Amino acid sequence: MRLILSLLLSVISLSCSRTPVRDPSTRSIEINEQDLVISSRFLKMEYPYLIYRPIIPSDEPLPVVYFLHGRGGSRKILRDLGGVKLVKDYLEQGGKPFVLVALSGTFNGKDTYWVDDVRSGGLKIKTALLNEIIPEIEKRHKIGGRSQKRMIAGVSMGSHGAFQLSLNSSRMFRCTAGHSLVIRNFKSMSTEFPGLFGNEREFSKRDPLSLLKKYMFGFKPSMKKIWIDIGGKDDKNFIRWAQELKSELIRLGYTETNGDMLDIGEDYPEGRHDASYLLTRFPQYLEWYGRCF
């Protein structure tokens, strides 16, 4: 998802107008935003991430939500959305505190789709995140530390990444959320990202829909709760593939009566695959993230 600053500025006033007025008696909460790097031996680079941490007293590590950006984007997606204000407003309205970390999945103009590149010399972003980067972030900032205090979310390409990483890492994430959901079949992925996913066998190891289909009825992934959403005016193929994913999730026992959100073009029938849709819904996302813990 390519976030265009002018579009963000045009809709930010609309988003703010929907935010409830804070009770004057509520104390102000400050948010510490840091743009940092971790030296990654898996990726052979200084890996950048952006972290939003509420400055509040806590007797134990705060929960953490990892956020994955869309195609052509960067960790700065949260800064472009006005991350400090969004998180601050959420907390000052009584939301449960957590740390928000935006990760990086595009390097030198190349999108990783948050999967290990099967080609020789390709970036192993999945391996790096699960085995090195996330553990180091939590150790460095004294956050998370176990699956009950860790969830993952993403938008567009990042929604695919959030589900793929969750399904390929047993019990690492308590909840998973995919916004402006992008699920592609093998033909589409091979056309858009030739070579990245390899053959159909390798693709099935990286495709959320294929991974879900391996679960039998009565057995389901370790994620406790799931959110998926897509606007009603999004790409028709994305909507169709998202509906397939929804059907698999329902088969495995994920339903809105259990606190999951399975919104395929229903709540926002005019929503498109753009920044205005994401910005309008982000306060809802934050509230749901908090309920995960």
DSSP classification of residue 232: T
**219: in domain:** yes
- The yes-or-no verdict on residue 92 having pLDDT over 60 is yes
Task: Using the structure block, give the residue that is written with the tokens 């959403």.
Answer: 229
pTM of the entire predicted model: 0.91
pLDDT tens digits, residue range 269-278? 999 999 999 9
Give the domain CATH number at 104. Answer: 3.40.50.1820
Cβ atoms of 201 and 169 within 8 Å: the answer is: no
Own/partner contacts of 165-170, CB < 8 Å, gap of 24 or more, are 165/114, 165/126, 165/129, 165/130, 166/221, 166/223, 167/208, 167/211, 167/212, 167/221, 168/126, 168/130, 168/205, 168/206, 168/211, 169/130, 170/222
**176: in domain:** yes
**250: in domain:** yes
**103: in domain:** yes
Amino acid identity of residue 210, one-letter, is: S
- The yes-or-no verdict on residue 40 having pLDDT over 60 is yes
**23: in domain:** no
**270: in domain:** yes
Average pLDDT, the chain: 91
Q: How many domains does the chain have?
A: 1
The whole-number pLDDT of residue 26 equals 57
C-alpha atoms less than 13 angstroms from C-alpha of 11 in its C-beta half-sphere = 18
- Segments forming the whole domain that contains residue 237: 5-16+28-292
**22: in domain:** no
Cβ atoms of 148 and 293 within 8 Å: the answer is: yes
* Confidence at 217, pLDDT banded by 50, 70, 90: confident
Residue 50 CB contacts under 8 Å (≥ 6 apart), including other chains: 33, 34, 35, 36, 75, 76, 78, 79, 83, 101, 102
Distance of alpha carbon 281 from the chain centroid: 13
**241: in domain:** yes
* Confidence at 216, pLDDT banded by 50, 70, 90: confident
Residue 71 CA to residue 105 CA, distance in Å, equals 9
Cβ atoms of 41 and 81 within 8 Å: the answer is: no
* Confidence at 24, pLDDT banded by 50, 70, 90: very low
- The yes-or-no verdict on residue 18 having pLDDT over 80 is no
For residues 83, 291, 241, 162, the Cα torsion angle rounded to the nearest 10 degrees is: 60
pLDDT tens digits, residue range 133-160? 999 999 999 999 999 999 999 999 999 9
